[in-house]
Structure 1
Amino acid sequence: MYKNIVIPVILDHPEKNKAAFEAARALADEGAHFTLLHVLEDIPVYVSEYVPNDFVVEARKTLRSKLDELSKTLPNCHAAITEGRPGTQILKWAEQNNSDCIVIASHRPNISDILLGSVAHYVVRHAKCAVHVIR
């Protein structure tokens, strides 16, 4: 069905990632291309003075290593890291890279999601391509 699939990943929820990978495989055309995308959120200004200068550089190295390992679990897959607000960056990446599908894992909603919204909710509402949400 899809040829260019983006899978946003959060490294501290491996069970969610596994379910998203399985769904992406099921939705993919033969020879499809997969991108594992991790969004490194900006450090708030009020916290930044307490964070070591090389924190972002080291965090990127660690993320890159973990994402590269994960990307070996899907054929024709590569990893990417971007920075900013997760929902916005996922959509920006998908549009700039001509993705035709986003497979995103979601958690069970709670009261804060009703008031503030979740990343998956934002992506579903604003994506210009197909979105499959995995629970």
Structure 2
Amino acid sequence: MMEDYKTILSPVDGSEESELAFRKAVHVAQKNNAKLLIVHVIDTRAIQTPSGFEGNFTDEIVRQTKVMIDRYESLARERGVQDIETIIDYGSPKVMIAKEIAVEHKADLIMIGATGLNAVERLFIGSVSEYVIRHAPCDVTVVRTDLDNHLLHEKK
């Protein structure tokens, strides 16, 4: 029996992998008449300099993030999703997605893109999707294909 999902969390980062997951999350949200949480976590480790956080640099990252989130929200609305919440947060993306945002917003499904990291990168920094699978309090779907179930770089 298929779960009737009420709140679907879609982490986005602008990558092709997260775009595939977002499109499937929109489809599932629309079919279930579910709330769609569109989430981007700004990795504070990536924007910190030895002297702290640089104002102009950080402001530009936030501005670009808002533009990206607004684009995703518009796409979801165009496809008929009514209940949408956008979230921009700060911290470690994998921890915030799995342990903070999913819990706080009572997500019952996270639809996340497959990682683009190679084995060495996963060893040193860890895969967000792998961490979310292990620590999320709800179902997690790792999306590798588009709505027609074609792989991202598969020849059609």
TM-score, normalised to structure 1, is 0.83
- What is aligned with 2:129? 120
Q: Does 1:88 align with 2:95?
A: yes
* Contact kept? 2:11, 2:22, Cα under 8 Å: no
Query: Aligned ranges for residues 41-52 of structure 1 at < 5 Å?
Result: 41-43=43-45, 47-49=49-51, 52=54
1:47 maps to amino acid: T
Deviation at 1:17? 3.0
Q: Deviations over 1:17-55 (max 9, x none)?
A: 331123224433532111111110114697243863232
Question: Which residue does 1:104 correspond to in 2?
Answer: 112
Gap regions ≥5 residues in structure 1: none
Contact kept? 1:67, 1:79, Cα under 8 Å: yes
Change (3 A) 1:63 1:54: same
Aligned residues: 133
Where in structure 2 are the equivalents of 1:22-101 lying within 5 Å?
22-28=23-29, 29-43=31-45, 47-49=49-51, 52-74=54-76, 75=81, 76-91=83-98, 92-101=100-109
Unmatched segments (≥5 aa) in structure 2 = 145-156
Indicate the larger mover: 26-35 or 49-58: 49-58
Distance 1:17 1:52, change over 3 A: same
State whether residues 48 and 54 of structure 2, in contact with CA within 8 Å, keep that contact through their aligned partners in structure 1: no
Q: Which amino acid aligns with 2:8?
A: I
Q: Which amino acid aligns with 2:71?
A: E
Pair 107,49 (structure 1): closer, same or farther in 2 beyond 3 Å: same
Q: Distance in 1 between matches of 2:48 and 2:9?
A: 32
Cα RMSD over matched residues?
2.3
Query: Percent identity of the aligned residues?
Result: 29
| Structure with the higher strand share, 1 or 2 | 1
| Aligned CA distance change for structure 1 residues 66 and 122 (closer, same or farther; 3 Å) | same
Structure 2: distance between partners of 1:61 and 1:35: 19
* Cα pair 1:64 1:79 within 8 Å, conserved: no
Amino acid at match of 1:60: V
Residue deviations 1:44-71, cap 9 Å, x none? Answer: 6972438632322332122112211211
